[in-house]
């Protein structure tokens, strides 16, 4: 039997804890790097994370610590901090300790100020690290409860990516290896924006038909954006694309969906740090730069910034010029 892999998971929130848990089930030796002493104490003493995953037992092989001491010995590093904090966390670790190591980027978001994907942020901070992107339909609580979950793991070298996937795979957590790093990252980031849109439709009480229509048109918009920005359209029919989009856009368990729902319903908007809130303006900037028509992304930005209410935005979407569903041709007037 091969020696268990040493895996450092940076981020002591729900997602980082869940990933450390499944890594332990896969016979790895996970070290969870957290910022809060209470999280470290709970993980090490009671094998729980009551702050982020209450009432869920965490595998006893998971050990937690404050700071990244020893990370240079890791076989794999998983970055599970929010997307807007990835640069700060990577800088604190230092590029020399990440050189030559597989770094699995588990946050789904674009850096707001730069519009960069997570692997591009990694390239700027630690150019010699090996980037991989983890994305797909997954809720941290379900992963931590060992509910069956399948995700995408993308990297430039498929053989290398398959080896990392095998080290993370367990009886209930299955990473499928692929090479479309750009497509997987973009799909994971953009679906959060569309989840806000679908949540807003739900919060405004516009009905399931309207939500389904927004979801379908969101997929078309996602395809345009990913294709224009260098991703593979085929990625969008898989776990990181359609799978994650459907999950995030149809349930209140999605923090982005719930954020949009509360915003449209006039309720206090919880989850102020939801990834989609920060990715939306970055996504719109990318769309404008690539000359891609992105009406749903624009509508989400208007909703978040308070420039319009959901009813106005849906009305605007419904009165856009008619087109053929699968291309950009205008529908000719009757009789022409």
Q: Residue 184 burial (CB < 10 Å; 0-12/13-18/19+)?
A: buried
pLDDT in tens, 212-247: 999 999 999 999 999 999 999 999 999 999 999 999
Query: With bands split at pLDDT 50, 70 and 90, how would you rate the model's confidence at 273?
Result: confident
Question: In whole angstroms, what is the distance from residue 285 CA to residue 63 CA?
Answer: 41
Say what the pLDDT of residue 311 is. Answer: 75
**Annotated catalytic residue: which of 101, 163, 191, 323?**
191
Question: CB within 8 A of 143, min separation 6: which ones?
Answer: 18, 19, 21, 22, 149, 173
pLDDT in tens, 4-49: 999 999 999 999 999 999 999 999 999 999 999 999 999 999 999 9
Say what the pLDDT of residue 314 is. Answer: 72
Question: In whole angstroms, what is the distance from residue 108 CA to residue 258 CA?
Answer: 17
pLDDT in tens, 173-190: 999 999 999 999 999 999
> What percent of the chain lies above the pLDDT cut of 90?
84
Mean pLDDT of 106-124: 97
Enumerate the domain spans of the chain.
6-179, 183-318
Question: In whole angstroms, what is the distance from residue 223 CA to residue 175 CA?
Answer: 23
Overall fold of domain 183-318 = 1.10.1040
Nearest residue to 192 (alpha-carbon basis) of 285, 85, 282, 324: 282
Say what the pLDDT of residue 326 is. Answer: 62
Query: With bands split at pLDDT 50, 70 and 90, how would you rate the model's confidence at 68?
Result: very high
Say what the pLDDT of residue 266 is. Answer: 85
Q: Residue 330: pLDDT above 70?
A: no
Given a contact cutoff of 8 angstroms between Cβ atoms, the answer to whether 161 and 153 are in contact is yes
Look up the CATH number of domain 6-179. 3.40.50.720
Vertex 86: Cα angle to 81 and 90 (nearest 5): 110
pLDDT in tens, 42-52: 999 999 999 99
Per the DSSP assignment, residues forming a β-bridge with 323 are 330
Say what the pLDDT of residue 272 is. Answer: 58
Mean pLDDT of 69-73: 96
Q: CB 250: neighbour CB atoms within 10 A?
A: 18
**pLDDT averaged over every residue in the chain:** 92
pLDDT in tens, 296-326: 999 999 999 888 777 777 777 666 665 665 6
Query: With bands split at pLDDT 50, 70 and 90, how would you rate the model's confidence at 132?
Result: very high
Say what the pLDDT of residue 331 is. Answer: 35
191 as an active site residue: the answer is: yes
């Amino acid at each position: 039997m091969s020696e268990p892999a040493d895996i450092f998971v940076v981020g002591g929130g729900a997602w980082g804890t869940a990933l450390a848990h499944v890594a332990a089930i896969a016979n790895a030796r996970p070290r969870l790097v957290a910022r809060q002493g209470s999280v470290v104490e709970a993980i090490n003493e009671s094998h729980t994370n009551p702050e982020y995953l209450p009432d869920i037992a965490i595998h006893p092989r998971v050990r937690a610590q404050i700071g990244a001491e020893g990370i240079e010995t890791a076989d794999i590093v998983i970055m599970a901090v929010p997307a807007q904090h990835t640069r700060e966390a990577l800088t604190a670790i230092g590029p020399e300790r990440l050189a030559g190591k597989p770094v699995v980027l588990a946050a789904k978001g674009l850096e707001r100020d730069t519009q960069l994907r997570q692997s591009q942020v990694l390239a700027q901070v630690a150019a010699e690290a090996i980037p991989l992107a983890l994305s797909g339909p997954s809720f941290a609580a379900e992963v931590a409860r060992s509910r069956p979950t399948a995700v995408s793991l993308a990297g430039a070298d498929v053989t290398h990516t398959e080896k990392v996937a095998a080290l993370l795979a367990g009886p209930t957590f299955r990473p499928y290896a692929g090479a479309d790093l750009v497509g997987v990252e973009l799909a994971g980031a953009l679906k959060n924006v569309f989840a806000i849109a679908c949540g807003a439709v739900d919060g405004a009480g516009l009905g399931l038909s309207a939500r389904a229509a927004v979801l379908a048109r969101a997929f078309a918009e996602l395809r345009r954006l990913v294709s224009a920005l260098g991703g593979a359209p085929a990625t969008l029919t898989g776990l990181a694309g359609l799978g994650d989009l459907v999950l995030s856009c149809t349930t209140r368990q999605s923090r982005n969906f719930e954020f949009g729902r509360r915003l449209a319903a006039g309720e206090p908007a919880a989850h102020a740090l939801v990834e989609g809130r920060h990715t939306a303006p970055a996504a719109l900037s990318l769309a404008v730069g690539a000359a891609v028509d992105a009406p749903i992304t624009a509508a989400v930005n208007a909703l978040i910034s308070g420039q319009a209410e959901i009813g106005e935005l849906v009305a605007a979407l419904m009165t856009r010029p008619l087109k053929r569903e699968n291309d950009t041709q205008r529908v000719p007037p009757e009789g022409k």
